[in-house]
Structure 1
Amino acid sequence: MTPEEVREIVLSFPGAAEGLSYGQPSFKVNGKFFTRLRREDASLVLLEVGFDEREMLIEAEPATFHITPHYRDYPSVLARIETLHPGSLRNFLERRWRKIAPRKAVKAYDDGARP
């Protein structure tokens, strides 16, 4: 995927908006961190990924999934956008979105207002 394709998928979630996180361009939902593109390695920060799942992803797809020491203690994984499948991205983002979006937005989404 390209950064533009990633941006399109991220912003397709209700309430998703571009913002800043620690001075870096990012995406937020409901004022909370959703994801961001790491320019230093063209990877996305994906949250709500448990440690066991992260380990499995890195082992199964090392060309896509990786981690840096900064993220080691957080339930997250980094995914290189060049090799990340758009459907996988949508699934990871939906998991995070459901946790931070307003309940009314989640209900509307579940009732059929999907991107």
Structure 2
Amino acid sequence: MGMTAEDVRTIALSLPDSSEKPAWGMPTFRVGGKVFASLADDDASIGVKCPKEDRAELIAAEPEKFFLREGHDDNYAWLRVRLAAVADAGELRSILADSWRQAAPKRLAAAHPELGGG
């Protein structure tokens, strides 16, 4: 079935101290002033923070779900996720929470161990 842009918005804004702000003509989701997710202009995918060293493994394991936007993501710690390939809200929440932890101030992330950090 896959997830939708509205699912992304609902889950992203449910994370502590998150907000939505347009940037580059797209909705972005931020914590502590840093972007942790952005919706693509077609609402079919999202960009999330991902350590560069983890990207190739994720893409190799699930190429229908994870990808890089060539020429844009090459030098940044970001990964793209096709929403149609995300199984359910739990998986989407896990992906967004992981990205949120990478962008959140350390003290805030530590205060929310239920999100897998701290």
- Normalized against structure 2, the TM-score is what? 0.77
Q: Map 1:36-51 onto structure 2 (within 5 A).
A: 36-40=38-42, 42-47=44-49, 49-51=50-52
**Could you tell me how far apart the structure 2 residues matched to 1:40 and 1:113 are?**
28
Q: How high is the sequence identity, in percent, across the aligned residues?
A: 36
Aligned to 2:112: 109
Aligned to 1:95: 98
Which amino acid in 2 is paired with 1:27?
A: F
Q: Map 1:22-33 onto structure 2 (within 5 A).
A: 22-33=24-35
Q: Which secondary structure state, in structure 2, belongs to the residue aligned with residue 72 of structure 1?
A: coil
Q: Residue 12 of structure 1: CA displacement? A: 1.0
Q: Residue 7 of structure 1: CA displacement? A: 1.2
Aligned to 2:13: 11
Q: Which runs of 5+ in 2 are unaligned?
A: none
Q: Residue 6 of structure 1: CA displacement? A: 1.4
Q: Residue 41 of structure 1: CA displacement? A: 6.6
Q: Residue 35 of structure 1: CA displacement? A: 0.7
Which amino acid in 2 is paired with 1:44?
A: I
**Could you tell me how far apart the structure 2 residues matched to 1:113 and 1:41 are?**
25
Aligned to 1:67: 68
**Could you tell me how far apart the structure 1 residues matched to 2:115 and 2:94 are?**
16
Q: Which secondary structure state, in structure 2, belongs to the residue aligned with residue 25 of structure 1?
A: strand
Q: Residue 40 of structure 1: CA displacement? A: 3.6
Q: Which runs of 5+ in 1 are unaligned?
A: none
Q: Residue 57 of structure 1: CA displacement? A: 1.4
* Equivalenced residues, count: 112
Q: Which secondary structure state, in structure 2, belongs to the residue aligned with residue 94 of structure 1?
A: helix
Stretch moving more, 18-27 or 2-11: 18-27
